[in-house]
Amino acid sequence: MVFYVAESTDLAVSGILALVALGLYMTGKGKTRISAESEHAIHHVWGYLGFVAETLIFILSGVIMGQRAVDNPLIGAKDYAKLFVTYICLHFIRFFCILLFWPCLNKMGYGMSFSQVILCSYAGLRGAVGLSLALMVTTS
| 26: confidence class by pLDDT, cuts 50, 70, 90 | confident
Q: What predicted TM-score, i.e. pTM, was given to this entire model?
A: 0.54
Residue pLDDT, tens place only, 32-61: 777 777 888 888 998 999 999 889 988 988
Residue 138 has pLDDT above 80, yes or no: no
**Contact call for residues 61 and 135 (beta carbons, < 8 A):** yes
Q: What is the rounded distance in angstroms from the CA atom of residue 135 to the CA atom of residue 15?
A: 14
Q: What is the rounded distance in angstroms from the CA atom of residue 135 to the CA atom of residue 13?
A: 18
Mean residue pLDDT across the chain: 86
User: Which helix (H) or strand (E) is 60 found in, with range?
Assistant: helix 36-71
Handedness of CA 28, 31, 32, 33 (dihedral sign): positive
The whole-number pLDDT of residue 75 equals: 82
Output phi, psi for 122, to 5 deg.
-80, -35
